[in-house]
Structure 1
Amino acid sequence: MEIADSNCYVLKISSSDSATPTPAPVLGLLSLRKYDANEKGAGRWASYPPPPEVDKESYDAMLKSMIEYRERFMLGRVHLCIDLFGVDHEYQGRGMGKMLLAKACEIADREKLDVFVEANEFAESFYHDFGFETEGRIEMPLDGVTQCFLVMWALRDLAK
């Protein structure tokens, strides 16, 4: 769905090893979607059911909080949202996530748009390294993991 959406950038890192089957496996992926100023709701997240290993109630709580915080900080502003972001477990720690997020930040800078992302507390400092600011935090009721709502403000420094 993201590939066909003209408001979405799909960034990927795939294996270039000639021994791998075609198409090459995707090692890292980041989906960056542009939201209209008055677009409400969960966007693409509403299109995905929770993975089988995830408790539906926890997933619904995460989704509800993401909607609440994105609308609180971003409603009324055209903005980008990191909808999906991950690196294959076997390839983590090799800088692929940094490359993907750096490219997403370049796109945001070029378009002069803010970027919103929801991330768990373990990834919070990763986003801070790229200039994101934590605008809210909430502990999820069932699993106790804290979700962080971060924004990279495109125009904040220009207003000074």
Structure 2
Amino acid sequence: MAKKLSPNIKILDSAGKDYLPSLSTIHSRAFHPIHPYHKRICPDTPLVRAWWSTIFNDYIESEYSYVLTAVDTTKSDFVAGVLLLAYCDFDAKTSNVFMKAGMTDDHDRAAFAAMTGGHAHERLMKGNSHLVIELFGVDHDYAGQGVGQALLGRACELAAGGGYDCFVQANAKAAKFYEKQGFEVRESSVMPGEEMYVECQMVRQAPANLHKE
């Protein structure tokens, strides 16, 4: 049963640049309390916050992406959750903004490269154009309130409406959540490090009558 979203939470298909300061901390607010692996890769430092701001700004300006944003209307310019959804054409190289942005001296460079540099994505999508979820996180204080369901549901609507398959690399603990929205685990891998963090490569196929070659 879907959780009822609070009337104070509004889902936007794109975020304005006034939200950049809050967007720059959403990764740490969403992942650091529960995933030491993410905290090690992207620590919450001024340098990394500036890096996140650059990424989100590029996403906001891109015609090939959505910055699906859950905002708390009771707080000024506050982001409770975000889902970055990008059109990917392997020939045009329009996805994977994280690698395009490079890394800072504060990143764990080896772990970051291992998470973002795999080849499963291209192999599983067979070179076809599709949509890819490149970041999806909900502020830990808003967990269990239906924010994630609303964001992922909107992403699936956009993918299905365009006739696109959708790809995501998700941590193993979140796999069941994605499966409820029609994603299937195609592969999984253990990231290097003592955390034994497992990533699942998952695909949601578009309805057959809308599928684009």
Give unpaired runs (5+ residues) of structure 2: 1-57
1:16 is matched by which residue type in structure 2?
A: T
Deviation at 1:32, TM superposition (A): 0.5
Take 2:105 and 2:157, find their aligned partners in 1: how far apart are those partners? 31
Cα pair 1:12 1:26 within 8 Å, conserved: yes
Q: What are the Cα deviations for residues 54-94 of structure 1, in whole angstroms up to 9, with x where unaligned?
A: 632221111122xx011111242110000111111111110
Aligned to 1:147: 199
Aligned to 2:170: 119
- 3-state secondary structure, aligned to 1:3: helix
Aligned to 2:70: 13
Take 1:51 and 1:101, find their aligned partners in 2: how far apart are those partners? 32
Q: 1:49 aligns with which of 103, 117, 135?
A: 103
Take 1:80 and 1:158, find their aligned partners in 2: how far apart are those partners? 14
User: Is 1:100 equivalent to 2:151 in the alignment?
Assistant: yes
1:4 is matched by which residue type in structure 2?
A: E
- List structure 1 runs of 4+ shifted beyond 6 angstroms: none
- Normalization by structure 1: what TM-score? 0.85
1:144 is matched by which residue type in structure 2?
A: M
Q: What are the Cα deviations for residues 78-112 of structure 1, in whole angstroms up to 9, with x where unaligned?
A: 10000111111111110100000000000011000
- Normalization by structure 2: what TM-score? 0.65
Deviation at 1:40, TM superposition (A): 5.1
Q: What does 1:57-76 align with in structure 2 at a 5 Å threshold?
A: 57-65=110-118, 68-76=119-127
Give the structure with the higher percent strand: 1
- 3-state secondary structure, aligned to 1:127: helix
User: Is 1:32 equivalent to 2:85 in the alignment?
Assistant: yes
Deviation at 1:38, TM superposition (A): 3.0
Take 1:96 and 1:50, find their aligned partners in 2: how far apart are those partners? 30
Take 1:14 and 1:51, find their aligned partners in 2: how far apart are those partners? 31
Deviation at 1:4, TM superposition (A): 0.6
Aligned residues: 152
Take 2:154 and 2:91, find their aligned partners in 1: how far apart are those partners? 26
The alpha-carbon distance between structure 1 residues 31 and 70, as it changes in their structure 2 partners (threshold 3 A), is same
